[in-house]
Amino acid sequence: MVTGAGRGIGAAVTRRLASEGAVVAAVDRDGEAVEEMARELATDGLKVYPFAADVSLGAQVEGVIDEVERRLGPVEHLVNAAGVLRLGSARSLSDEDWRDTFAVNTTGVFLMSRAVVNRMIPRNSGAVVTIASNAAGTARADMSAYAASKAAALAFTKCLGLEVARFGIRCNVVAPGSTETPMLMGMFQDENGPRKTIEGQLETYKTGIPLRKLAMPEDIADAVAFLLSDQAGHITMQHLTVDGGATLGV
């Protein structure tokens, strides 16, 4: 099961997992987007099934997981990729900006993880990967709500991993940096945005990207696929930063 599967990183993760033979339940609040994505992947012979649900609403979360398991079988892997971004200085953010950001980025991770893991426990197996951000551990101007919500999601996922390790369930985090998605493109004010991001911005104390390129969604999907795989069978409560060196390995 992949949330936020309609576009960006969630869509790339969905394609990657399906290309490896997984049957993927693609969940997104935007039902039309996830249905279109599933139709496109179906033309390539991939088994992707769309489901519309708002991860910030507990009743919808429980309902969609019940539907997925009834139609497709037990959920073995969960990828929390749904996310929203509200830009603005910490002093100017509205109450709504703060609530909406945490509702999806943090509460959504909690609701989905709790519901799926409670179903994994009787089976004594499973894996969860939460998509956080390198901003979860590095201050970013005008991103306080996003950074705080991702830091909370990161901490929650690690704590959950500790609690359920005895059931053979692994919980890890992938922390992307600047990735070529609609969310990032929406932050740019002009065509110079990608170049400025790569070079860094002294006025906001933001380092550039040592690898001299933005990440592609597929780069993040590769990391997720690894952490879900048997190759990562002894890895849990870890976070893997995929940012081209933008946070200097800290």
Q: What is the CATH number of domain 2-179+216-242?
A: 3.40.50.720
For residue 183, the model assigns a pLDDT of 80
For residue 190, the model assigns a pLDDT of 77
Specify the amino acid at residue 135: A
For residue 188, the model assigns a pLDDT of 75
Q: One of 49, 51, 146, 156 is an active-site residue; which one?
A: 146
Q: Count H helices, E strands: the chain? A: 9, 7
Tell me the three state secondary structure of residue 184: helix
**25/72 Cα distance (integer angstroms):** 8
For residue 11, the model assigns a pLDDT of 97
Query: Residue 221: is its pLDDT beyond 80?
Result: yes
How many residues appear in the chain? 250
49 is catalytic: no
For residue 129, the model assigns a pLDDT of 99
Specify the amino acid at residue 144: S
Q: What is the pTM of this model?
A: 0.96
User: What percentage of residues in the chain have a pLDDT greater than 90?
Assistant: 93
H/E stretch holding 31 reads helix 31-42
pLDDT band at 163, cuts 50/70/90? very high
For residue 187, the model assigns a pLDDT of 73
Q: Whose CA is closest to 46, among 9, 11, 4?
A: 11
**182/9 Cα distance (integer angstroms):** 10
Mean pLDDT of 50-60: 98
Mean pLDDT of 48-72: 98
pLDDT digits (tens, 9 = 90+) for 80-98: 999 999 999 999 999 999 9
For residue 194, the model assigns a pLDDT of 85
pLDDT digits (tens, 9 = 90+) for 139-160: 999 999 999 999 999 999 999 9
For residue 185, the model assigns a pLDDT of 72
pLDDT band at 39, cuts 50/70/90? very high
**133/150 Cα distance (integer angstroms):** 6
Q: Which residues pair with 62 in a beta bridge?
A: none
Tell me the residue ranges of DSSP E strands in 48-184: 48-52, 77-80, 126-131, 169-176
**143/169 Cα distance (integer angstroms):** 32
| Structural tokens at position 82 | 């749904």
For residue 159, the model assigns a pLDDT of 98
pLDDT band at 132, cuts 50/70/90? very high
Instruction: Write the Ramachandran bin of 88: left for phi over 0, alpha for psi from -120 to 50, otherwise beta.
Output: left
Mean pLDDT of 201-229: 96
pLDDT digits (tens, 9 = 90+) for 174-199: 999 999 988 877 777 778 788 889 99
**What percentage of the chain's residues is helix, strand, coil (to nearest 5)?**
50, 15, 35
For residue 137, the model assigns a pLDDT of 96
Query: Residue 210: is its pLDDT beyond 80?
Result: yes
For residue 191, the model assigns a pLDDT of 80
What average pLDDT is seen over the chain?
Answer: 96
CA atoms within 13 A on the CB side of 181: 27
Tell me the residue ranges of DSSP E strands in 97-247: 126-131, 169-176, 239-242
For residue 186, the model assigns a pLDDT of 74
Tell me the three state secondary structure of residue 165: helix
